[in-house]
């Protein structure tokens, strides 16, 4: 698969089939991920791969924490968002809404689904060494972009799940991750259920003239 094909074809999967990912495939995926560039080649990332029945076990803990703390999906903005972003959020809701209705899930599905990684058979938890400032999450961003594209080539489907990072303490405790590390993002990995309306959603992108400036 051409890289440009993977860039165009990949999309977030929100209903996974009950089909395990072979260990060899996961190893291949992670070694491609780690080919990503990083500042001074420090590779400040660590990836913890949660597999099989450990995924729903972690999901249960996160669901319980969510019931107690109630922190849900949000962009973590530090100021009120300018109109343009609110409009893009509305646009996402416009394309997701009918699929959610067709699938018979309620409005809380993104929260509850994220907490349980949408039934994925594997989850990659990406953490940044606590020696670095949060800005170095940029290096992990590169690696995770690599992961999403490599997954597409390997025939895997993915969903980046950031919601659960609000529960980093629970994740680190469950997975015995160094408390000094920061959970930057998790990615659900597996095989999409092709029949689910939720997996038919194609999200739009802003036109180039909204996001590119030429001089």
- Measured torsion, CA atoms of residues 63, 68, 71, 73, in degrees rounded to the nearest 10: 20
11 binds ligand FMN (CB under 6 A): yes
12 binds ligand FMN (CB under 6 A): yes
Shortest Cβ contact with ligand FMN: which residue?
A: 162
Rounded to whole angstroms, the Cα distance separating 112 from 165 reads: 14
Using CB under 6 A as the binding criterion, the count of chain residues that bind ligand FMN stands at 14
Rounded to whole angstroms, the Cα distance separating 190 from 174 reads: 21
62 binds ligand FMN (CB under 6 A): no
Considering the complex, state which of residue 110 and residue 170 has its C-beta at the smaller distance from ligand FMN. 110
Rounded to whole angstroms, the Cα distance separating 97 from 129 reads: 38
Site residues (CB under 6 A) for ligand FMN, limited to 109-128:
110, 114
Rounded to whole angstroms, the Cα distance separating 117 from 58 reads: 9
65 binds ligand FMN (CB under 6 A): no
159 binds ligand FMN (CB under 6 A): yes
92 binds ligand FMN (CB under 6 A): yes
Contact criterion met (CB below 8 Å) for 14 and 159 = yes
| Shortest Å, Cβ 23 to ligand FMN | 26
Rounded to whole angstroms, the Cα distance separating 62 from 125 reads: 14
Contact criterion met (CB below 8 Å) for 187 and 158 = yes
H or E segment and range at residue 160:
strand 157-161
Site residues (CB under 6 A) for ligand FMN, limited to 172-191:
185
| Shortest Å, Cβ 201 to ligand FMN | 7
Polymer length of the chain: 215
Considering the complex, state which of residue 89 and residue 180 has its C-beta at the smaller distance from ligand FMN. 89
Residues that bind ligand FMN (CB under 6 A): 11-12, 14, 73, 92, 110, 114, 159-163, 185, 203
């Amino acid at each position: 698969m051409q890289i440009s094909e993977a860039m165009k074809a990949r999309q977030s999967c929100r209903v996974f089939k009950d089909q395990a990912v072979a260990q060899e495939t996961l190893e291949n995926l992670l070694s491609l991920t780690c080919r990503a560039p990083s500042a001074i080649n420090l590779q400040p990332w660590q990836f913890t791969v949660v597999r099989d029945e450990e995924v729903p076990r972690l999901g249960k803990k996160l669901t319980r924490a969510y019931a107690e703390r109630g922190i849900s999906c949000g962009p973590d903005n530090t100021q009120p968002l300018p109109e343009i972003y609110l409009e893009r959020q509305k646009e996402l809701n416009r394309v997701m809404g009918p699929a959610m209705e067709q699938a018979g899930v309620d409005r809380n599905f993104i929260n509850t689904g994220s907490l349980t990684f949408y039934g994925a058979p594997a989850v990659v938890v990406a953490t940044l060494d606590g020696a670095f400032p949060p800005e170095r999450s940029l290096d992990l961003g590169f690696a995770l972009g690599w992961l999403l594209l490599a997954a597409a080539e390997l025939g895997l489907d993915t969903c980046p799940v950031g919601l659960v990072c609000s529960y980093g303490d629970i994740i680190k405790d469950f997975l015995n991750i160094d408390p000094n590390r920061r959970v930057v993002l998790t990615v659900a990995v597996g095989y999409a259920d092709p029949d689910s309306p939720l997996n038919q959603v194609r999200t739009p992108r802003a036109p180039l003239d909204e996001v590119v400036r030429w001089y």
